Structure 1
Amino acid sequence: MKNNSSNSCSPRKTEKQEAYHEIHNFPHGDGPYVRAKYLQLVEKDPEAAIVLFWKAINAGDRVDSALKDMTVVMKQQDRTEEAIEAINSFRDRCSKNAQESLDNVLIDLYKKCGKLDEQIELLKKKLRMIGQGEAFNGKPTKTARSHGKKFQVTIKQETSRILGNLGWAYMQQRNYTAAEVVYRKAQQIDSDANKACNLCHCLIKQERYVEARSVLDEVMQGKLPGSDDPKSRGRSEELLKELETLCASPSFDLSLQDAFIGGIDQLMNKWNPIRTRRLPIFEEILSYRDQLAC
């Protein structure tokens, strides 16, 4: 650890150091966790911070936060495999309330290092938790934080987000049929321009250009939330150019009903065996097949 970092974290607190607690929103004290946060956020010394996060975990000092923060710093330092091992080794020391947050970190770590099978299984686990009413610790919403701001996330939004991530993972495996299933469910639950572009891309990969253009038109015409977002607009224009190029050559179109209905039974049976307790939003997911059949 750097000597100047050690001196900065001494028990003697200056007014400047006290102000950092307010600016960076970390607790007061002089335990290893607080000193690790100081090194991470103020001194910008991630390696020294990781050492103190380890000490905090072993000392039982704010273990929930220490493990999560340490693995996030490890990810930033390209120590992804080590971060995965740390979560799997020490999550049993964390509270029940911290498990869902650790799963989210683990999913990001699996994604970064290309562990697609592990990522998919964990995403399916989160969907099963929603089906059993165990997500958000049984509450209909949870408080999330992004760029220092707090906001509320609903079960509906979380379900759609997880399905979108699952669809991405299937796309990386080139399992386009499974990706289409989850993208369509995500869009049916909580539609937006980004997920529409993902579905369009999935249909293009299956050479179903007419359907892909139909999905993309909703974005181009501004019918979906987020259609005016510069990133979504730029991506939709790129997809449109790709479609125009591809449609100049012969293509074939698979049956939506066959592809979707054939896959939904197998996937839902695998992800969500019959249970006695489900949230209303999960019943909506299961009813999607019946709506398409009408």
Structure 2
Amino acid sequence: MRKDCNKVLVPRMLTPRPQPPQRKPWNSAPSTPIQSPAKSDSDSFLPKLPNEDSPYVKAKHVQLIDRDPSKSISLFWSAINCADRTDSALKDMAVVMKQLNRTDEAIEAIKSFRHLCTNKAQESLDNVLIDLYKRAGRMDEHVELLDHKLKLIEDGVAFGGKTTKISRSQGKKFHVSIEQERSRLLGNMAWAYIQQNQYQKAEELYR
């Protein structure tokens, strides 16, 4: 093959070889104190329980710290029998029962012992019951309770007569308006009607 003599070859520039850095005399650095390991994320989310030896606190400790839901149920029963924070004990016990698929037992517990709770706790217990009825497939009772709560809104009794309330979910607080609550209840009722094959009633609620 004939070379192209007219092509000018540009020599590649040689880059200078880097010189090794000069060693500096070694000096001992000041010692750094060893820091204790940072707390893990799981530790930071551990609930803070009151420093007391009451039946309810024992139940919450077993539920959240020891993570033994079955054992916590018997301790919640003890708290209810001792009238120790009955509102919270009954509600928390029902939630644990639901987690263990003991839904019917949770329903009967609330219906049988809610009279021991304060008037302020009744609305919260109703919300737990709504979820339990839904989980258990007890649609007639589900619709009946939803209808009752909607009438409380119409009569101006829900939320203690206020237009908003503070709810809690997964440790966070947020405001709920009376209209948001009404929409939530209507959505639940429409879903229940669909489960009962009452599609016309469900459609009327979705309009």
TM-score (normalizing by structure 2) = 0.77
Gaps of 5+ in 1: 1-19, 185-294
Q: Percent identity over the alignment? A: 60
Matched, 1:135 2:134: no
Output the CA distance in 1 between the equivalents of 2:143 and 2:120. Answer: 22
- Aligned 1:80-229 pairs, distance under 5 A: 80-184=103-207
Counterpart Cα distance in 1 of 2:49 and 2:192: 34
Tell me if the contact between 2:165 and 2:177 (Cα under 8 Å) persists in the aligned partners: yes
For residues 275-294 of structure 1, the aligned pairs below 5 Å read none
1:25/1:123 CA distance change after superposition, 3 Å: farther
Aligned partner of residue 142 in structure 1, secondary structure? strand
When the two chains are superposed, the root-mean-square deviation of aligned CA atoms in Å is 1.5
Secondary structure at the counterpart of residue 118 of structure 1: helix
Query: For 1:57, which of 76, 80, 84 is the aligned residue?
Result: 80
Q: Is the 8 A contact 2:46 2:65 kept in 1?
A: no
One-letter amino acid of the counterpart of residue 105, structure 1: V
Task: List 4+ stretches of structure 1 deviating above 4 A.
Answer: none
Q: Does 1:74 pair with 2:97?
A: yes
Letter of the 1:66 partner, please give it: A
Whose helix proportion is higher, 1 or 2?
Answer: 1
1:45 lines up with 2:68 in the alignment: yes
Q: What SS class does the counterpart of residue 176 from structure 2 fall into?
A: strand
Relative contact order higher in (CA < 8 Å, ≥ 6 apart): 1
SS at match of 1:158: helix
Return the offset for 1:23. Answer: 3.6
Unaligned runs of 5+ in 2: 1-42
Cα offset, 1:73, TM superposition = 0.1
- 8 Å CA contact 2:191–2:202 kept in 1: the answer is yes
Q: Using the TM superposition, give the Cα deviation of residue 139 of structure 1 relative to its aligned residue in structure 2, in angstroms.
A: 1.4
Deviations 1:61-109 (A, max 9, x none): 0000000000000000011111011001100000000000000100111
Number of residue pairs the alignment of both structures matches: 165
Compared with structure 1, are the counterparts of its residues 25 and 168 closer, same or farther at alpha carbon in structure 2 (3 Å cutoff)?
A: farther
Task: State how far apart, in whole Å, the 1-side matches of 2:49 and 2:88 are.
Answer: 10
The TM-score with structure 1 as length reference comes to: 0.54
Distance 1:150 1:123 in 2: 23
Equivalent residue number for residue 288 of structure 1: none
Larger Rg: 2
Cα distance in 2 for residues equivalent to 1:25 and 1:114:
35
Q: CA deviation at 1:134?
A: 0.9
